[in-house]
Structure 1
């Protein structure tokens, strides 16, 4: 956040972040908590019982981070493919708070992507698992939660996806199942916006750029101290990790700051049904990533398609 930006105030708002265990979901939950919202954090990974992602982060840790920063958070283990469990979650929020103001659908399915695999060779069980985890979880959560969210005008639904509507319309997202999942989440936001608008609500799809999450850092075997130099060293080299375009990556904080500013915006309805990005939100609300930069990942990645890498100046996109 820049010095000129007033900190958002979400005091009295109730938020549900579905998929708050790590990455973008954890960052969003923390920013909402810092702004004063009561945050319900859900995920499948709990102490001693990780999800099939096999990651060390837990949903309890997310809530502890929020409370340590002076916020209020509730960690609840929920599999959002289990409709009964989601209904019980929403009933608990209703019983404890009597309202829901912000719904963040941020459950992904990256663990089930088989990159470089055509449809006729793709394991259909893995493909269905990807669609279920990355899209059906969002649909289940909204279907159960929206009746509570529309009880008061001004409710906000944020569908977190990968790729803006414009980018995805012009680019195949590497596998049929991933393509359907990520474009489907965006379309879900568009459709929800049409139904929520009549009740004073807003739905928007938001995409980060190249997210420098815990999983991505581990996948590329880099750290917050080394990622930039390693990516820069791979400039002009193909088939290496991390690829050079990782130089435009961003932390989950920039996305989280933008979504929190959107939630606090009294004119947020102007975003209804739209697709936006962490960069566009940061630009609109005068925000930055934690290092003070404002990475424009989608523009940089698109520019790489037509411009020789040696002619690209990444600083022009940060």
Structure 2
């Protein structure tokens, strides 16, 4: 059974990382998934990385869905408007919007106070992380609310509780990730009269392509990275948060989560799914109780 058969999804920012994992899992549940990003097989973004939206669309198809790659720069309102017009023309509806645009790893200056942090890099980070989500929602939601039970998922880093209690290593990064949670709450208020739902969802420490490259490992041998960073043992694959979003999208009572800040592990425990290795990594509890507490790395009881 594929609970999302006939459903139309847009994963904005699906070239790699969480967006790719989400697109694949929505496809595995039977959805038609529009995957957007800037990097194609003929044109690269400022990341200059090998992953492409065409590759993501092919992975969606391999998972059992229908993947459609569309090159879009979500900072450009005209491109986003054209994307939504295309979805409306081709499908006549939009059931699931995942705002996962980010693209700012190379802009972050960790543990640098605002008076020393580059303003240019900081404001570019906010533009990529916040403005893109607003632009996409501006054009997409008028299509999504035409049908009941539409779902908007704002992807961020950190739960509301964790981010409220912890400095996220940079004023700009902190603003970027906490603002997205607030955005989900605002959208929940605006779309609930149309019987649609908005939530914020965070993965834990995610083994994105960029993170794996950073540690010089692959998904198959990711545990080897613990030699350099012992706490990496709590990490999770992008498919874990993908399964979280797919579970929400397939829940006929998803409105009970409207306006909530959710994590991959909370949803795994609620919907009884697992990461690709068969575990349920509980990153946010681990961070509070082990890593931030200065204890030695030990994932026993947290996976």
Asked whether the two chains share a fold, i.e. TM above 0.5, the reply is yes
Equivalents in 2 of 1:225, 1:261: separation in Å? 25
Q: Distance in 2 between matches of 1:130 and 1:145?
A: 22
Segments of 5+ residues of structure 2 without an aligned counterpart are none
1:64/1:130 Cα in 2 relative to 1: closer, same or farther (>3 Å)?
same
Moved over 4 A (4+): 305-308
Does 1:124 pair with 2:85? Answer: no
34, 39, 48: which one aligns with 2:33: 39
Provide the residue aligned with 1:88 in structure 2. 82
Partner residue, 1:175: 170
Residues 56-205 of structure 1: pairs in structure 2 closer than 5 A: 56-108=50-102, 109-205=104-200
Instruction: Let me know the Cα RMSD of the aligned residues.
Output: 1.3
TM-score where L is the length of structure 2? 0.96
Change in Cα spacing, 1:175 to 1:306, as seen in structure 2 (3 Å) is closer
1:113-139 Cα distance to aligned partner (Å, 9 max, x none): 111221111111111110011111111
Unaligned runs of 5+ in 1: 1-6, 234-240
Matched residues in 2 for 1:305 and 1:73: separation?
39
- Partners of 1:26 and 1:90 lie apart in 2 by 20
- Residue 295 of structure 2 corresponds to residue 301 of structure 1: no
* Residues 158 and 205 in structure 1, CA contact (< 8 A), matched pair in contact too: yes
Cα deviation, 1:240-286, whole Å, max 9, x if unaligned, reads x4x22111000011110111011010000001000000000110000
Q: Note the alpha carbon deviations across 1:125-178, whole angstroms, 9 max, x for none.
A: 111110011111111100110000000111000000000000000001111110
Deviations 1:181-210 (A, max 9, x none): 000001000100011111101000000000
Aligned mates of 2:66, 2:118 — CA distance in 1: 42
Q: Distance in 2 between matches of 1:308 and 1:164?
A: 21
Instruction: After superposition, give the CA deviation of every residue in 1:66-94 in whole Å (9 maximum; x if it has no partner).
Output: 22344212100000000011001001101
Deviation at 1:305, TM superposition (A): 5.2
Q: TM-score of the superposition, structure 1-length normalised?
A: 0.92
1:165-314 map, 5 Å: 165-231=160-226, 233=227, 241=228, 243-304=229-290, 307-310=293-296, 313-314=298-299
